[in-house]
Structure 1
Amino acid sequence: DMLNLNIVYQNILQNKINRMEGIEFLLSIIEKSEKTSSRLESLTILYKLKTRDHFVFKTLENCIISDEYEEIRIISAKIVLEYYLNMGIKCLEWAILNDTSSKLLKVLGYMVNSKNSQPHQALSKIFHQRLEKIAKKFDVVFEEVPFLLDLEFNLDNYNSFNWNPNSKLIYNDNIMFKVQDRHVLELSISLRDQIPSSINLLKKLKNLNLSCNNLSQLPNTLSELSNLESLDLSWNDFEIVPEILNKLNLNEDINFQNNKIQN
């Protein structure tokens, strides 16, 4: 369990057990345990140990390519990107081009774009290719795709309905957006605690429905949505009216009912 894993970690740090043996123990849990939480914790410890031992790589590669759990694939990819980059570049390319988790793509995209080395630049190009593929799939401009990743919109499991050749509705359980002429014009999001600040990428957004969330604040970037015509903030947890709303020219078209504002 977690307690034992933490003891293993402390013992490795304090040289009470041989580092190699400790790492092999962690690998055996990652490969054989049926408890996802223990596997995840073991990978997190490997990440903290900054391990660069070659024999660890094969296990990480297997996790990235074939593990069914998103969080396991994400932490494995982070370790490879950080400590096994030259050895693991092909495996990371594969993940960027094929993994269906928008959260994994969001994390890897951020990491590959944050450094300027040759391998990072190569992976950044691959990431760009994947964004283009997603843009084509959803029929939106390339620039709006990072927001969909930040929302962690499921890239595989969603419904879509074509109004006409230029416009479609795309939706899953708690996200719905209308695309017209390759821009997101209408967006509805529910059951969230916060809205990604990259919402400012939706330059043409007209109608934004944020009702039925747990929001108590809004990103400042919302003020950059110059085409916004209506905003629904009903059924949230706002205790005060966010100042950002003063910067939007929407006076009549903001629904603020059923929040926690005391009159």
Structure 2
Amino acid sequence: MESSPYLINKNYINKKVDKTSAINQLISIIENSDNLSTRIESINLLAQINADTNNVFKLVENLLISDTNESIRLAAASTIEKIFLNDALEPLRWIFKHEESLKCLVAISK
């Protein structure tokens, strides 16, 4: 049975899982789930738990640049802004040149 982002966060807060395990579970959901809201919630939780690892940066950068869903790209942009601001310049330059969604461009430019 797939864990939900809510349950992962609850277990992390209650110290039933460590940060690395919580991050890995959230990444697994993001990469494997077909449920859009579950993926978005997982991306947002990465920011909430300050998952500032290189693997997380690569994942959200890839989502920002190449995911087909606008809401996923918005969540990825928000996560980059919250925990990877110092590393955000290059992916944001790419987005400004290539993004077609006005909603994403407005969110990124804030």
Q: Same fold judged by TM-score > 0.5?
A: yes
> How far 1:32 sits from its partner (Å)?
1.7
Q: Which residue of the partner structure matches residue 102 of structure 2?
A: 102
Q: Which residue of the partner structure matches residue 48 of structure 1?
A: 48
Q: How does 1:233-248 map to 2 (within 5 A)?
A: none
- Cα distance in 2 for partners of 1:43, 1:8 equals 12
Question: In the alignment, does 2:80 pair up with 1:80?
Answer: yes
Q: Which residue of the partner structure matches residue 92 of structure 2?
A: 92
Q: Which residue of the partner structure matches residue 8 of structure 2?
A: 8
* Normalised TM-score (structure 2): 0.89
Contact 1:81 1:92 in 2 (8 A): no
Question: In the alignment, does 2:60 pair up with 1:60?
Answer: yes
- Say which one has the larger Rg: 1
Q: Which has the higher contact order (CA 8 A, sep 6+)?
A: 2
Q: What SS is found at the alignment partner of 1:68?
A: coil
Q: How does 1:186-197 map to 2 (within 5 A)?
A: none
Q: Which residue of the partner structure matches residue 69 of structure 1?
A: 69
- Cα distance in 2 for partners of 1:33, 1:69 equals 13
- Cα distance in 2 for partners of 1:74, 1:41 equals 12
Aligned length: 109
Which runs of 5 or more residues in structure 1 are unaligned? Answer: 111-263
Q: What SS is found at the alignment partner of 2:88?
A: helix
Letter in 1 for 2:103: K
* Normalised TM-score (structure 1): 0.39
Q: Which residue of the partner structure matches residue 35 of structure 2?
A: 35
Q: How does 1:48-197 map to 2 (within 5 A)?
A: 48-110=48-110
Contact 1:61 1:91 in 2 (8 A): yes
Question: Which structure carries more helix by proportion?
Answer: 2
Q: What SS is found at the alignment partner of 2:51?
A: coil
- Cα distance in 1 for partners of 2:75, 2:99 equals 14
| Identity fraction in percent | 30
> How far 1:87 sits from its partner (Å)?
2.3
The C-alpha deviation readout for 1:38-61, integer Å capped at 9, x for no partner, is: 111111211221221222111111
CA 4–82 in structure 1, closer or farther in 2 if over 3 Å, else same = closer
Q: Which residue of the partner structure matches residue 25 of structure 1?
A: 25
Question: Which structure carries more strand by proportion?
Answer: 1
RMSD between aligned alpha carbons?
1.7
- Cα distance in 2 for partners of 1:10, 1:96 equals 36
Contact 1:52 1:83 in 2 (8 A): yes
- Cα distance in 1 for partners of 2:56, 2:100 equals 25
> How far 1:95 sits from its partner (Å)?
0.9
- Cα distance in 1 for partners of 2:17, 2:42 equals 16
Contact 2:64 2:73 in 1 (8 A): yes
> How far 1:76 sits from its partner (Å)?
0.4
The C-alpha deviation readout for 1:220-239, integer Å capped at 9, x for no partner, is: xxxxxxxxxxxxxxxxxxxx
- Cα distance in 2 for partners of 1:89, 1:13 equals 32
The C-alpha deviation readout for 1:58-103, integer Å capped at 9, x for no partner, is: 1111101110110100110111122112223201111122111111
